Amino acid sequence: MNVEKVNDKFVAYVDTGKVYTFGRSIGRPIIKRIEGKKRHKVVEKAKKFLNNLNIVKEKEKKHYLSLGAAYDDLEKKWQRKVDAKNKTPLIKKGKGMTPETKSRYEDYAKSLFILLADGESRPNGGFLSKEKKEERNKLEEQGRLIDVNTIDKSFIDKFITELIEKESESQAWRVYWVFTQILLRVEQKDMLGKNWVSPHHVFTEDAPTYSSTGGEVIDQKEAHIIRKQILAEFLETYSRESFIMMLMSYTGAYWGEIAALTVADFNFKDFQITFSKSRNSRSGRISLIKAAHLRVQKTKNNTIRIVTVAPETLQFVQKYIEHHKLKMSDYLFHSDLELKNEQKGKLYDLTRTLVIRCCKKAGVNLSATRLFRYFVSTSYTNIIGATRDEKKMRLGHKSDSVQDLYTVYEDPNALKHAKQIAQLYK
């Protein structure tokens, strides 16, 4: 900045840092001229102009950051957690992640980008044509291109309103959750500078919420009819899906726990089943079970759960093993990739189709594969009178988890109660 006296005025010449881009002066620097009768006033105005000019320049320097680029960084963080989980299966909660969990989060992100581009959620279980898939892929790319700098309080307020109005509670919560995780990642990594704070923090009370209400519980009459349908199919076909549901009706175990069983997991002498693994319904991947942090009497390994069953339960197991000519080391259910002459289709999808079909015949409008888990859990409490600790051991419930890690439980009523569960279907 130069200040000169021209006639009876003082003139400050301030370089704007820009050049003319047209006319005869093209390429020449643009100089701002500030005049005044008093020198100190001119200098003051020039400094104020320079300060405002620097603010403008800083804003112009603010680099474009796409929401997609920020998400890609978050996805790398998830992958590191997956790698940590693979290296240490029993890693501390929050430090690791299964590939299946990461896959679900990626689905949430895809939905987020599509919704931000004014697209629609995919129908639950709905079939998408090739054209529809291409359209959704384009919408996803549009959503990824949104500049994080444009996400202000007004943007978030509108987005929350649309989510709550148009989406289910669970979908709105999942989409908004991954949205906030992306913004938090931008904040953590200072991607937009050290002073940038995500505006979503002020919307804590307005953000979508969701809590599962649990599954619909069938009564004893409905359970008897549904199981009768499944039993008939099992005795006719010895199919994998009917056998899974038979075991679920006796044990109340998760679908994934049963689908990961091997022949060696059955103790025919003591009427026991050892649950230590779970098969993911989407990928078929087998890993240690989440709910298996219980120490049972005479069991040193705290990554397994031993469940006592009624003797007749193992009779069905024996029939299945003999029919399929399985060896001691074999899984009861081959992975989907190993299927040769068996019916094609994913095992979980086949199981769910069986449940829907049998429920329909019983006049019950349900499709959840966990229906027997709900029934067994409810029956243990309301009919049989099992204690909370007994239920935790048999069903793998993880409440009071700290106590579970350090307590050795005994289960003297296991066989008696297992026989009572079997009796409910007669």
Strand-strand pairing, 286-288 and 277-279: antiparallel
- Whether residue 152 contacts residue 199, with contact meaning beta carbons closer than 8 Å, is answered with yes
Per-residue pLDDT of the chain (426 residues; tens, 9 = 90+): 788 888 888 888 888 877 766 656 666 788 888 888 888 888 888 888 888 877 665 555 557 899 999 999 999 999 999 999 888 877 888 899 988 889 899 999 999 999 999 888 765 545 667 888 899 999 999 999 999 999 999 999 999 999 999 998 989 999 999 999 999 999 999 998 888 899 999 999 999 998 765 556 788 888 999 999 999 999 999 999 999 999 999 999 999 999 999 999 999 999 999 998 888 887 778 877 654 444 344 444 455 788 999 999 999 899 999 998 988 888 887 654 444 444 444 888 889 999 999 988 888 888 788 889 888 988 888 888 888 888 888 887 665 543 333 334 457 788 889 888 888 888
How is residue 265 annotated by DSSP? G
Closest CA to 178 of 265, 99, 72: 72
Full set of structural domains in the chain with CATH: 2-61 (no CATH), 67-203 (no CATH), 220-423 (1.10.443)
Amino acid at 379: S
* Sign, CA torsion 281/284/290/293: positive
Could you give the CA distance from residue 173 to residue 167 in angstroms, rounded to a whole number? 9
- Whether residue 227 contacts residue 316, with contact meaning beta carbons closer than 8 Å, is answered with no
Residue 403, helix vs strand vs coil: helix
